[in-house]
Amino acid sequence: MFESDYFDNNVSDVSVRRGLEVYNEHKILSLELERNTLLEDRVSAQVQGSGSIIYEPELYIDLDSEQVNDSWCDCPAFRSFPGLCKHCVAVLIAYKMQKQGFSIGSSPPNDIRKKTESSW
């Protein structure tokens, strides 16, 4: 099951909603997963931004808790606001979907859709 608890405490509702939009609009151009230690996955991606801009977010995810240990994105919002930006949220959704055996672009679970619908 996809746990959306991470979003509740560490990401604004706006970032979750916009991250889901990025994911649903198939703006994740590539997703690479690397086990950088026995306890952590490094997830890097290319995400289509506005126009021809491509952002390259990175997440470091604890394998036991599936919580984000660290994150980075080269978008302006990542440097300006606390928590994950919409690009990192989209990559986190794609990562968790892929870990459950779904392809990128598959419809996310109901708990994520409900979270974003309630924040509109």
- The CB density around residue 36, as the number of other CB atoms within 10 Å, is 10
Res 73: pLDDT: 97
Distance CA 53, CA 71 (A): 19
Residue pLDDT tens, the chain, 120 long: 344 555 656 688 889 899 999 999 999 999 999 988 779 999 999 999 988 999 999 999 998 888 899 999 999 999 998 889 999 999 999 998 888 777 766 676 555 554 444 443
Q: Which amino acid is at 61?
A: I
**Tokens in use for 9?**
């405490």
Q: Give the right CATH number for 5-102 from 1.20.140, 2.60.40, 3.10.450, 1.10.3470.
A: 3.10.450
pTM score, whole prediction: 0.82
Q: Are the CB atoms for 93 and 111 separated by under 8 Å?
A: no
What single DSSP character describes residue 108? P
Residue tagged 């996955």 (tokens): 41
84 DSSP 8-state letter: -
Residue-level pLDDT at 6: 56
User: Three-state SS for 82?
Assistant: coil
